[in-house]
């Protein structure tokens, strides 16, 4: 994913957020206090240590409210910051700065929280050659921003949506009448030589997945001992991904089992926002 990918939806997403916050009248408090133009300089400060993501979204938010607003990023996305660190400066009319403040900080703090959580998982898994993936458990309309933040934290994407990768899950298997039948249908109905990933929650299902010759087997909600047994059985015949109930306390133990990937829904659905403030100097 590149900045160009995100920028294609950037204006629309920010516009919706600003419309939600400003309504049709705008920031009536700021209008009341400052009826005339007044230039100010403000700093964005992080209260928490973490990883920054979404600096360009914050910059675009201030610019969308008033193109004359200046935004200077003092660090790049993906960089570790300390609590109390000034990460950006904003210059412009006070009405524009304060009208854009909350939306800009909401994007920046949410994305930075995801990047921070991702980095924590990555740091635990990377020494064992294991890659951390995100999932589709994202906020509606914000997926591209959240997945960009995962990248900033060092993770990768399991898939962006239902349209760009094959993943046969338990409900596909049940509705098709079995794992082998589901794989056979995918191969027969989809054009091109697409990699096939399938979900397995028991050792018997792992055996069937191996017989079906899939490219990746996702070990879903298995305990560590079962994961070890499955990895030994697969023995490099397919890539191995683990999902389900992955937390910081167990990710390292799972990474030690020899899997290739660990997918973590919590990266996007449960990351705590990084605490940020905008202070006028």
- Whether 199 is catalytic: yes
Give the gyration radius of the chain's Cα atoms. Answer: 23
One DSSP character per residue, 78-130 reads: T-EE-TT-EEEEEEEEHHHHHHHHHHHHHHHHHHHHHHHHHHHHHHHHGGGTP
Q: Pick the catalytic residue: 37, 169, 232, 272?
A: 169
Q: Where are the alpha helices (DSSP H) in 134-212?
A: 143-152, 170-176, 179-189, 203-212
For residue 234, give every residue at least 6 positions away whose Cβ sits within 8 Å of its Cβ, in sequence order, or none: 206, 210, 217, 240
Q: Pick the catalytic residue: 199, 205, 208, 241?
A: 199
- Strands 196-200 vs 216-220: parallel, antiparallel or unpaired: parallel
- Whether 147 is catalytic: no
- Strands 80-81 vs 50-51: parallel, antiparallel or unpaired: antiparallel
- Strands 86-93 vs 39-46: parallel, antiparallel or unpaired: antiparallel
Q: Pick the catalytic residue: 91, 102, 185, 228?
A: 102
In angstroms, what CA-CA distances link 148 with 7, 33, 88, 139, 145?
11, 38, 20, 13, 5
3-class SS string, 19-83: HHHHCCCCCHHHHHHCCCCCEEEEEEEECCCEECCCHHHHHHHHHHHCCCCEEEECCCCCCEECC
- Whether 256 is catalytic: no
- Whether 169 is catalytic: yes
Q: Pick the catalytic residue: 136, 137, 207, 229?
A: 137
- Whether 82 is catalytic: no
Q: Which residues are catalytic?
A: 102, 137, 169, 199, 220
């Amino acid at each position: 994913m590149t900045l160009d990918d995100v920028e294609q939806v950037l204006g629309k997403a920010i516009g919706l957020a600003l419309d939600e916050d400003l309504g049709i009248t705008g920031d009536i408090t700021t209008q009341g206090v400052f009826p005339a133009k007044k230039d100010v300089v403000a700093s964005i400060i992080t209260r928490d240590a973490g990883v920054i993501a979404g600096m360009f979204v914050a910059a675009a938010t201030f610019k969308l409210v008033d193109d004359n607003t200046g935004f200077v990023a003092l660090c790049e996305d993906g960089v570790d910051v300390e609590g109390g660190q000034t990460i950006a400066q904003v210059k412009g009319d006070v009405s524009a700065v304060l009208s854009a403040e909350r939306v800009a900080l909401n994007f920046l703090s949410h994305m930075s929280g995801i990047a921070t959580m991702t980095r924590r998982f990555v740091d635990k898994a990377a020494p064992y050659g294991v890659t951390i993936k995100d999932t589709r458990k994202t906020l509606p309309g914000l997926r591209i921003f959240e997945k960009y933040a995962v990248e900033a934290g060092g993770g990768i994407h399991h898939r962006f949506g239902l349209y760009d990768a094959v993943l046969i899950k338990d409900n596909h298997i049940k509705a098709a009448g079995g794992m082998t039948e589901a794989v056979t249908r995918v191969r027969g109905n989809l054009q091109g030589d697409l990699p096939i990933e399938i979900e397995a929650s028991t050792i018997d299902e792992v055996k069937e997945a191996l017989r079906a010759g899939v490219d990746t087997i996702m070990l879903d909600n298995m305990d560590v001992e079962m994961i070890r047994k499955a990895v030994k059985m697969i023995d490099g015949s397919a890539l191995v991904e683990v999902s389900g109930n992955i937390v910081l306390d167990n990710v390292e133990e799972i990474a030690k089992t020899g899997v290739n990937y660990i997918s973590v829904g919590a990266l996007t659905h449960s990351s705590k926002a990084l605490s940020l403030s905008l202070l006028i100097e």
